[in-house]
């Protein structure tokens, strides 16, 4: 058997090794591939430039979409005042009052809508009026979910509920 130390391609194939490609051919092939597409460096720089452009872009004007600060503040105060009033009236309804079940169901829907609208809005969720209102509507919703619309609210829970609503109304009046 021949020694596999010879440098020629002919001898390499005889030894069972594949022939080694010429270095010039490899370099030429690599340069052709490079000129056809975008390099990783170029793609990375383009992505970095796009990220910088997006982060430096100005924030959208929320007033354009109806979420301006003054309008949102007025809407929050109006809707929160309405929720406070409706929850208080529903909580103070007598057990056998006509239309109690319909009132409780409408209050439950109003509570869910109010919480869904303001829970994730950081402009309102940190306010004392929001915290007290949320505590009160959570107690009311918990009672409705556990005991239904026909069950009366226990005295202790009712006292706490009314106190939370009074505090929320007071904070809302102060713009807090």
Separation CA 112–CA 87 (nearest Å)? 12
Cβ-Cβ contacts under 8 Å for 91 (sequence gap 6 or more): 140, 153, 158, 161, 162
Residue 95 CB contacts under 8 Å (≥ 6 apart), including other chains: 150, 152
Q: Who's near 100: CB < 8 A, 6+ residues apart?
A: 93, 94, 149, 150
Q: Which domains does the chain have, with CATH numbers?
A: 71-173 (1.20.58.810)
Per-residue pLDDT of the chain (176 residues; tens, 9 = 90+): 445 554 555 555 555 666 666 666 656 655 555 556 778 888 888 888 887 777 775 665 555 555 556 787 888 889 999 999 999 999 888 888 888 889 999 999 999 999 998 888 877 878 888 889 999 999 999 998 898 888 888 899 999 999 999 999 998 888 87
Q: Can you tell me the distance from the alpha carbon of 12 to that of 46, in angstroms, rounded to the nearest whole number?
A: 45
Check residue 56 and give its pLDDT. Answer: 72
Is the separation of the CB atoms in 132 and 167 below 8 Å?
yes
- Whether pTM exceeds 0.75: no
User: Which tokens sit at 174?
Assistant: 């102060």
> How do the residues of the chain divide into helix, strand and coil, expressed in percent and rounded to 5?
70, 0, 30
């Amino acid at each position: 058997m021949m020694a596999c130390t010879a440098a020629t391609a002919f001898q390499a194939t005889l030894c069972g090794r594949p022939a080694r490609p010429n270095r010039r051919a490899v370099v030429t092939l690599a340069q052709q591939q490079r000129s056809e597409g975008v390099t990783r460096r170029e793609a990375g720089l383009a992505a970095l430039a796009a990220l910088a452009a997006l982060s430096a872009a100005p924030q959208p004007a929320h007033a354009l979409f109806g979420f301006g600060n003054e309008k949102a503040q007025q809407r929050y105060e109006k809707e929160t005042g309405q929720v406070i009033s409706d929850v208080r009236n529903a909580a103070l309804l007598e057990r056998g009052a006509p239309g109690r079940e319909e009132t409780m169901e409408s209050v439950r829907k109003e509570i869910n809508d109010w919480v869904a609208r303001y829970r994730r809005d950081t402009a309102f969720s940190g306010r004392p009026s929001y915290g007290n209102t949320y505590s009160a509507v959570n107690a009311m919703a918990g009672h409705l979910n556990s005991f239904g619309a026909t069950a009366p609210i226990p005295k202790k829970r009712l006292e706490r509920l009314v106190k939370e609503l009074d505090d929320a109304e007071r904070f809302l009046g102060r713009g807090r």
